[in-house]
């Protein structure tokens, strides 16, 4: 039983939680949720830090910064919601070194969306 990927898109943990909540609700109406579904949903609930709408908006704001550039990096920043410069440096460890000013810009944008 192979499945084909029809569409691939980076999404935040908050967006994934919203999707899984809908799937879980549909499946619960028909039968009990599988262990894997319950476990995935619990993980998403524990680690999502923003509402799905705020997460999407934050990704868009981060993409406006030249040092972020790629959607996958912006999504990772939103998932982690870094509080200190070292957390951002870890994200960029394989990419390139950011200046303190670039890191500060990212932190300022993230802090505007913190709940």
Mean pLDDT, the chain, whole residue set:
91
Cα angle 81, 84, 87; round to 5: 65
d(CA 12, CA 30): 28
User: What region, left, alpha or beta, does residue 114 occupy, with left being phi > 0 and alpha being psi -120 to 50 degrees?
Assistant: beta
Identify whether the C-beta of residue 82 lies closer than 8 Å to the C-beta of residue 88.
yes
Token pair 């998932």 in the structure block, residue: 79
Both tokens of 34, joined, read 């599988």
- For residue range 36-76, what is the model confidence (pLDDT) as tens digits? 888 999 999 999 989 999 999 999 999 999 999 899 999 99
Instruction: Give 22-34 pLDDT, tens digit per residue.
Output: 988 888 878 888 8
Q: Which domains can be identified in the chain, with CATH numbers?
A: 13-47 (no CATH), 52-113 (1.10.150.80)
Asked if the model's pLDDT at residue 115 lies above 70, the reply is no
């Amino acid at each position: 039983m192979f499945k084909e990927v029809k569409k691939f898109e980076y999404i935040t943990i908050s967006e994934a939680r919203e999707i899984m909540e809908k799937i879980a609700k549909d499946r619960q109406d028909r039968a009990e949720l599988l262990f894997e579904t319950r476990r995935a949903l619990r993980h998403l609930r524990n680690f999502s830090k923003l509402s799905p709408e705020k997460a999407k908006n934050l990704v868009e704001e981060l993409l406006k910064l030249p040092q972020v550039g790629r959607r996958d990096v912006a999504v990772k920043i939103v998932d982690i919601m870094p509080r200190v410069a070292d957390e951002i440096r870890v994200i960029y460890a394989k990419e390139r070194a950011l200046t303190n000013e670039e890191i500060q810009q990212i932190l300022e944008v993230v802090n505007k969306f913190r709940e």
